[in-house]
Amino acid sequence: MSRTRHPVRWTALGGILALAVAALVSLMLGIVRLNPAETFTALFTPEHADIQAATVIWSIRLPRIVVAALVGAALAVVGTVMQAILRNPLAEPGITGVSAGAAVGAVAGITLGFSGTHQWGIPLAAFAGAATVALVLLGVLRTRRDLGPGTIILVGVSISALAGALISVLIANAKDDSLVRSAMFWLAGDLELRSWDHVLLATGPIVIGLTILATRVRALDALALGEQIAATSGVNVARERTVLLLVAALVTGAAVAVSGIISFVGLVVPHFLRLLVGASHARLLPLAALGGALFLIVADTVARTAFGSVVVQTGVVAALVGAPVFLALLLQRSRA
């Protein structure tokens, strides 16, 4: 037992330290560069800091970092959960089409004017879209038990293509150009101009959803071994799959509502952590939340600082890392 806990403890401590360093570096870097002393002063005693530095930290960079941490944690945990439910190591919100469904809901909410009438209009619409896709995946699992795990990925690709077509129709029929510009954000996957309002919108659903998922680690361990083993272990397979997929849809919808579609976070982070701490979800879920937050903060910092005057979205940087990993895993499964 001590040998198992040892790598988990050090992985967690290392992740927390890396997360703190990544957040500090992200606070310092940008068009207005700050040194560590200026950053700490503006962060902890803003009344004694330079006005510009305090404004940059508290109004621009810190809310963006918090949103990145929330979204990264959400996507990494949901990816871990989906890989267990679908018994496919390639599953994650972007690849299975759940993020695309959330984006359809968000774009529909924007183009139909929900964003101007109700604060929770866009998140609720995103959740509805994600939940619809999750229920489709659940229906496929229930009606075609003979299908292999890889088929779910093909279903996700089909759903993503359909979602893209629906988004094109919604954008083409938007009432004015401002709605089109707002809707295009959801396709880019970026954290530009994130504010404390976005933090408020995302925190509740993501924290509640991740807490519920954390209480289902025993069911996740059983489902990852197969339906028959889960059933003989006393797990109600149908109920647990439904609950887990709907909660995953809630978390994904909240994440997409404030960041747009960012893929591959839920693919890269869980696979890296399994190499370090094994497959137990009691260890994987909290570390996935930590690793996802770290991954997306770093990706967002790179996106806004490493390319000079070239505009690069956060989702692009995540894809530059995730796409090769996805291809490597796919080729590895093909050889197996």
For residue range 156-204, list pLDDT tens digits in order: 889 999 998 998 898 888 887 777 777 776 677 889 889 999 999 899 9
Residue 234 lies in a domain: yes
DSSP assigned state of 49: S
Answer yes or no: are the C-beta atoms of 287 and 15 closer than 8 Å. Answer: yes
131: CATH: 1.10.3470.10
Quote the number of domains for the chain.
1
Residue 2 lies in a domain: no
pLDDT the model gives residue 5? 59
For 65-76, write each residue's pLDDT tens digit.
999 999 999 999
pTM listed for this prediction: 0.90
Residue 1 lies in a domain: no
- What gap in Å lies between CA 57 and CA 26, rounded to an integer? 10
- What gap in Å lies between CA 197 and CA 120, rounded to an integer? 11
Residue 184 lies in a domain: yes
CB atoms within 10 A of CB 212: 16
Q: Is it the case that residue 120 has pLDDT exceeding 90?
A: no
In angstroms, the Cα distances linking 229 to 87, 144, 198, 234 are: 13, 19, 42, 9
Residue 3 lies in a domain: no
Candidates 317, 312, 316, 290; CA nearest to 23 is 290
Q: Is it the case that residue 334 has pLDDT exceeding 60?
A: no
pLDDT the model gives residue 116? 55
**Band of the pLDDT at 39, cuts 50, 70, 90?**
very high
DSSP, collapsed to helix, strand or coil, labels residue 81 as helix
- State the residue range of the domain holding 303: 8-334
Answer yes or no: are the C-beta atoms of 230 and 39 closer than 8 Å. Answer: no
Average pLDDT over every residue of 314-331 = 86
pLDDT the model gives residue 1? 44
DSSP, collapsed to helix, strand or coil, labels residue 1 as coil
Residue 97 lies in a domain: yes
**Band of the pLDDT at 96, cuts 50, 70, 90?**
confident
DSSP assigned state of 116: G
Average pLDDT in the chain: 88
pLDDT the model gives residue 2? 46
Residue 191 lies in a domain: yes
Residue 308 lies in a domain: yes
Answer yes or no: are the C-beta atoms of 262 and 315 closer than 8 Å. Answer: yes
